[in-house]
Chain A
């Protein structure tokens, strides 16, 4: 698979902070007024730059809630989330939105591409939000789509792409904004084996060659097998944290 040869994706090149993500005593309690549900119950977690991490656990274990909080989509009830040293749970909604735009990439289970835009436009869109010049947007979009093997399909709309191809576009969109890390929530759940394998290979390659940090929330054993670090969550707590030898 061709890998993008353009500029380095992440913007931590000259950054001394190696822990790009840190959570301290993270709690999330839903329905506090009625029956409290401790979705996340005191998680301390550190992610270093370039990690390829899978957060696993049974349904309802709190992995998606954890991912949402890490991504700045949900506020923790208690605790801290530091991204690249910035405490994001103290940011105003407006600043948090800006922060997500500049620092976090998202890959969703259902791809969530904009159906009326082409693959190129979908990838370019996030850079447009960032206010990047057109020339840079065009160049980077084409490089990214080539890197994920969709150089020939840049003008195709999502409904003309297979599930695997759509998810590749989604990955390209996630890394187009040059984020600190990419959060992928069940990225392979809707894909067949072949597409899953291709997607994982592609992401692993991006991780290895471009030092893009990936954090997955998954049930999928194929993802777990590829991950170099596997964090198991149950009842809102980390029950194991294994780092595989390279």
Chain B
């Protein structure tokens, strides 16, 4: 039983740390790679991403926002829906025009370049950055020329040739297949946007804890624009973040319930096996209340020794995998949903303390029924039990 409790608690601690790490990484990578902490749009832009709803004088805005305390960087973006036409198929993707230098302070796409270069330098044929998985599906190579078709702000059809300058591979395959990147100026030109106009300003903060404060400051500075945090922009990320604690509680409750039934079963066996001994103790003058607490104490020692051992081993393993990632490359499906294939575990120490307290409490609760059974024994009958 001691081994079962140890293994159970270890599994509980490890799984909780694993899923917490996975969820944290999803949120962190979602912010860092996809949405940033805060975004500013023209009012109503986010309803249907209408390209005519752009913000004017955005360069000045970005310079101003960069002076806000807690802001790591801000970058302008132009966004449009486009068609990708290649010899191996046609795809509808989102084309994002970014300012490479500013964007590097806001997103980490440049760190995920698997082949070719980020959008640096001037080129006669504008460069396009394509997701690795999209490139593989369309059999693209570095230097492949792709005509990109879209509708400009006047409602006219516009087609422009881009050359694949690089491939990127983030932890979210879905994101890689739905988004391509070009430079801010190239897309502005194709959409025929006015100078200094942009659809989006993305802001990355030093710390997520400064989100609310900075958000309110920016919202106050630009009352006529739509300022949103990552929680508003990506409901999925917010759900992952918020639901993880609930999942953890459910998970811990399941483990604790299993533990509880395990202890009840073991302690009932203890009472059954020691019926004679319990009968003798009551016969010679041990009070029933003492017998009751003896069983409770035994259960607490059993659960605490196994529990603490399991928690300690679980904690040690979690600490190890905080620095050494668990590779899940064989489960490619994770990346389709935006989860990294390398997971660093994470579990706050306070959760471990809560678990230890829960084990202690469960040790007591689980022993109540066996202890009650013990004190219901008739001493004279119990003594003669075989």
Residue ranges of A at the interface with B (Cβ–Cβ < 8 Å)? 68, 71, 73-74, 93-94, 97-98, 100-102, 106, 108, 110, 112, 114-115, 126, 129-130, 173, 177
* Size of B's binding interface in residues, CB under 8 A: 15
B280 contacts A68, CB within 8 Å?
no
A205 to B59, CA, bound (A): 110
B383 touches A108 (CB 8 A): yes
Q: A115 — which chain B residues lie within 8 A by C-beta?
A: 277
CB distance from A132 to the nearest CB of B (A): 13
The B267-306 residues at the A interface (CB cut-off 8 A) are: 276-277, 279-280, 282-288, 290
Q: Are B288 and A97 in contact, with the CB atoms below 8 A?
A: yes
CB neighbours of A130 from chain B (8 A): 285
Whether B285 pairs with A97 at a CB distance below 8 angstroms is yes
Q: Given A110-B276, A112-B276, A73–B286 Cβ distance below 8 Å?
A: no
CB contacts under 8 Å to A, within B231-284, are 276-277, 279-280, 282-284
Q: Are B380 and A101 in contact (CB under 8 A)?
A: no
Selected from A68, A112, A114, A126, the residue in CB contact (under 8 A) with B285 is A126
A126 touches B283 (CB 8 A): no
Sample of 16 more A-B contacts, CB < 8 Å, known A97-B282, A114-B280 = A71-B283, A73-B380, A74-B380, A94-B287, A97-B285, A97-B286, A100-B284, A101-B284, A101-B285, A106-B284, A108-B383, A112-B277, A114-B277, A115-B277, A126-B284, A173-B284
Residues of B within 8 A of A (CB): 276-277, 279-280, 282-288, 290, 379-380, 383
Give the residue name and chain of the B residue nearest to A111 (CB).
B280
Contacts of A74 in B (CB 8 A): 380
C-alpha gap A129/B383 in the complex (Å): 19
User: Is B285 in contact with A73, judged by CB distance below 8 angstroms?
Assistant: no
Q: Is the CB of B383 within 8 A of A112?
A: yes
Say yes or no: A68-B380 contact (C-beta < 8 A), given A112-B276, A112-B280, A114-B277: yes
Given known A-B contacts A110-B276, A112-B276, A129 and B380 have beta carbons under 8 A apart: no
Known pairs A68-B380, A73-B379, A114-B277; A93 contacts B288 (CB<8 A): yes
From B277, B279, B285, B380, contact of A102 by CB (8 A): B285
Q: Report B-chain residues with C-beta under 8 Å of the C-beta of A102.
A: 285
Residues on the A chain within 8 Å of B282, using CB: 97
In the complex, how many angstroms separate the beta carbon of A236 from the nearest chain B beta carbon? 16
Query: Cβ of B383: which chain A residues have Cβ within 8 Å of it?
Result: 108, 112
Contact B283 A129 (CB under 8 A): no
* B contact residues around A73 at 8 Å (CB): 283, 379-380
Closest CB in chain B relative to A105 CB, distance in Å: 8
In the complex the two chains form, what is the Cα distance from A102 to B286 in whole Å? Answer: 11
List, in ascending order, chain B residues with CB within 8 A of A94's CB: 287
A100–B284 Cα distance when bound, in Å, is 6
Complex formed: what's the CA distance from A173 to B280 in Å? 12
Q: State A185–B290 Cα separation when bound (angstroms).
A: 25
**Interface pair B285/A129, CB less than 8 Å apart:** yes
Q: List, in ascending order, chain B residues with CB within 8 A of A97's CB.
A: 282, 285-288
Interface centre among B279, B280, B284, B287 (most CB of A within 10 A): B284
Task: Please indicate the chain B residues that have their CB under 8 angstroms from the CB of A98 in the complex.
Answer: 285, 287
Q: List 8 A-B contacts (CB under 8 A).
A: A94-B287, A100-B283, A112-B277, A114-B277, A114-B280, A126-B285, A173-B284, A177-B284
Q: Name the distance in Å between B282's Cβ and chain A's nearest Cβ.
A: 7
Asked whether A108 and B380 contact (CB < 8 A) given A126-B285, A129-B286, the answer is no
Is A108's CB under 8 angstroms from B286's CB? no
Q: Which residues of B contact A106 (CB under 8 A)?
A: 280, 283-284
Residue of B nearest to A130 (CB): B285
B91 nearest CB across to chain A (Å): 74
- Residues of A near B290 (CB, < 8 A) are 129
Q: Which chain A residues border B286 with CB–CB below 8 Å?
A: 97, 101, 129
CA distance A177 to B286 in the complex (A): 13
- B7 to chain A minimum Cβ distance, whole angstroms, is 25
Cα distance, A115 to B281, chains bound together (Å): 13
When distances are taken between beta carbons in the complex, the residues of chain B under 8 Å from A93 are 288
Would you give the shortest CB distance from A39 to chain B, in whole angstroms? 12
CB distance from B286 to the nearest CB of A (A): 6
User: Who on chain A is nearest to B282 by CB?
Assistant: A97
A94 CA / B286 CA spacing, docked (Å): 10
Minimum C-beta distance from A167 to chain B (A): 14
**A171–B287 alpha-carbon span in the complex (Å):** 21
Closest-CB distance, A30 to chain B (whole angstroms): 12
Contact among A108, A129, A177 for B280, CB-based, below 8 A: A108
Determine how close the nearest CB of chain A comes to the CB of B97; give it in whole angstroms.
Answer: 78
Contacts of A177 in B (CB 8 A): 284-285
From residue A79, how far is it (CB to closest CB) to chain B in Å?
17
Least CB distance, A6 to chain B, in whole angstroms: 21
Cα-based distance from A53 to B380 in the complex (angstroms): 21
The minimal Cβ–Cβ distance linking B116 to chain A, given in whole angstroms, is: 73
Q: How far is the CB of B312 from chain A (nearest CB, A)?
A: 26
Minimal beta-carbon separation of B295 from chain A (angstroms): 15
